[in-house]
Structure 1
Amino acid sequence: MTPGDLLKLSTQSCVDAAKLLHGLTVDVSPKGTFDQVSNADLEVEAFLRAALTAGAPGSAVVGEELGAATAPITWYVDPIDGTRNFVRGIPLSCISVAAAVDGDLVAGCVLDPFRDELFTAATDTPFAVRSTGLTITPQPSPRPLVLTDIPLPGSPYRGELDLLAELLVKADVRRVYSTALSLAWVAAGRADAAANLGIHPWDVAAGAVLVREAGGVFTEIGHNGFAAGRGEMVGWLTERLEDIVQ
């Protein structure tokens, strides 16, 4: 399958999975000290696993809730990125699917079910946004806009509060608590950069494809961090985060 084929499959699977959320009664259980899991997470991931592996026989899935396996074609699935927002009805969450071929990310899809907004890209398909709601062409700003959740509750790293204080001097900052959605917004030019620590592969796989195919950079930092976007702010964030994770 080509990257374009994988993108079509991931996109249709996301669109179909989002239909499961309409009319769903949400039940929530704790998952660790600072996290939660809902029945929506479990049902959406189960649906995506079935749809993606049926559409690409022999492929495997790395998912947040239901385990991981790898194959020549591997899917990275985050059924609800931003669960803590989702379960409170805060419209800052998304469904995220990415495809990797022989370890290289080649296609990514992020779907915001609240706004019915779809962000897609692949190595042979340009970045695109499909939205049925109000859209504003991003306008220039005298200060860069950075999306970050640093510091996360329970973070093992020291120096994150100092980083946040420095960042507030240099940029406008928004805390979204949905990494995949943040990266999609960076790809769309709504923010200049995004950075986080304490992330997992399924949090960033699709967003990394979107940012790269939109002309930005995505830099992995340590084992669980990243900085992404355009402009000088990305380099500054990369250096500061590398200092923190050492």
Structure 2
Amino acid sequence: MTPGDLLALAAQSCVDAAKLLHELRVDVAAKGAFDQVSTADLEIEAFLRTSLTGGAPGSAVVGEELGTASAPITWYVDPIDGTRNFVRGIPLSCLSVAAAVDGVLVAGCVLDPFRNELFTAAVGVPFTISSPGLTITPGVSPRPLVLTDIPLPGSPYHGEMALLGALMEVADVRRVYSTALSLAWVAAGRADAAANLGIHPWDVAAGAVLVREAGGVYREIGRDGFVAGRGEIVDWLHDRLEDIVT
């Protein structure tokens, strides 16, 4: 399958999963000291696994809730990125699916089920936003806009509060608590950069493709961090996050 074929399968699977999401009853349980998991997370991931592996026989899934496996074609699935927002009824969460071929990310899509916005891109397929609602062409602001959830509760790193204070002196800062959605917004030009620590592959795989194919950069930091975006603020964030994780 080509990257375009994989993207089409991922996008349709997300659209179908979002329809299911509207029909589900949502119950919530604790997952560790700070995280939560909902029945929607579990049911949507199960649906996506079936749809993706059915459409690409022999493929495997790396998912947040139901385990991981690998194959020449591997899917990275986050059924609801931003669960803590979702279970409180805050409309800042998304479905996120990416495809990797032989370990290289080639396609990604992020679907915002609240606004019905679908962000897609793949190798050879330009970044696109499908949105039925109000869309505004991003403008230029005096200071860069940065999306970050740093510092997170329970983080093992020191110096994050100092970093946040320094960042607020040079940039406008928003805390979204959905990494995949933040990356989609960076790809769309709504923000100049996104950065987080404590992330997992399913949090960032689709968004990394979107940013890259939209002309931005995605840079890993340590074992569980990243910065992505455009402009000098990306280097600024990268250098200071490197100091924190090393």
Q: Same fold (TM over 0.5)?
A: yes
Counterpart of 1:2 in structure 2 is 2
Counterpart of 1:195 in structure 2 is 195
Counterpart of 1:26 in structure 2 is 26
What RMSD, in angstroms, separates the aligned Cα atoms of the two structures?
0.4
Counterpart of 1:125 in structure 2 is 125
Q: Report whether the alignment pairs 1:244 with 2:241.
A: no
1:23 deviates by 3.2
Q: Report whether the alignment pairs 1:12 with 2:12.
A: yes
Secondary structure of residue in 2 paired with 1:155: coil
Q: Given residue 78 of structure 2, which amino acid in structure 1 is its aligned partner?
A: D
1:34 deviates by 0.2
Q: Distance in 2 between matches of 1:185 and 1:101?
A: 25
Deviations, residues 132-166 of structure 1 (Å, cap 9, x unaligned):
11111101100100000000000000000000000
Identity %: 82
Counterpart of 2:135 in structure 1 is 135
Secondary structure of residue in 2 paired with 1:135: coil
- Give 5+ residue unaligned stretches, structure 1: none
1:25 deviates by 1.8
Counterparts in 2 of 1:79-94, with a 5 A limit?
79-94=79-94
Q: Distance in 1 between matches of 2:117 and 2:245?
A: 34
Counterpart of 2:67 in structure 1 is 67
Q: Distance in 2 between matches of 1:241 and 1:192?
A: 17
Moved over 4 A (4+): none
Secondary structure of residue in 2 paired with 1:99: strand
Secondary structure of residue in 2 paired with 1:219: strand
Q: Distance in 1 between matches of 2:50 and 2:226?
A: 30
Counterpart of 2:186 in structure 1 is 186
Q: Given residue 70 of structure 2, which amino acid in structure 1 is its aligned partner?
A: T
1:228 deviates by 0.2
Secondary structure of residue in 1 paired with 2:235: helix
Q: Distance in 1 between matches of 2:76 and 2:23?
A: 26
Counterparts in 2 of 1:80-229, with a 5 A limit?
80-229=80-229
Deviations, residues 40-89 of structure 1 (Å, cap 9, x unaligned):
00000000000000000000000000000000000000000000000111
Secondary structure of residue in 2 paired with 1:169: helix
Q: Given residue 48 of structure 1, which amino acid in structure 2 is its aligned partner?
A: L
Deviations, residues 180-236 of structure 1 (Å, cap 9, x unaligned):
000000000000000000000000000000000000000000110000000000001
Counterpart of 2:49 in structure 1 is 49
Q: Given residue 80 of structure 2, which amino acid in structure 1 is its aligned partner?
A: I
Total equivalences in the alignment = 246
Secondary structure of residue in 2 paired with 1:177: coil
1:117 deviates by 0.2
Q: Report whether the alignment pairs 1:230 with 2:230.
A: yes
Secondary structure of residue in 1 paired with 2:95: strand
Q: Given residue 219 of structure 1, which amino acid in structure 2 is its aligned partner?
A: R
Counterpart of 1:35 in structure 2 is 35
Q: Given residue 76 of structure 1, which amino acid in structure 2 is its aligned partner?
A: Y
Q: Given residue 63 of structure 2, which amino acid in structure 1 is its aligned partner?
A: G
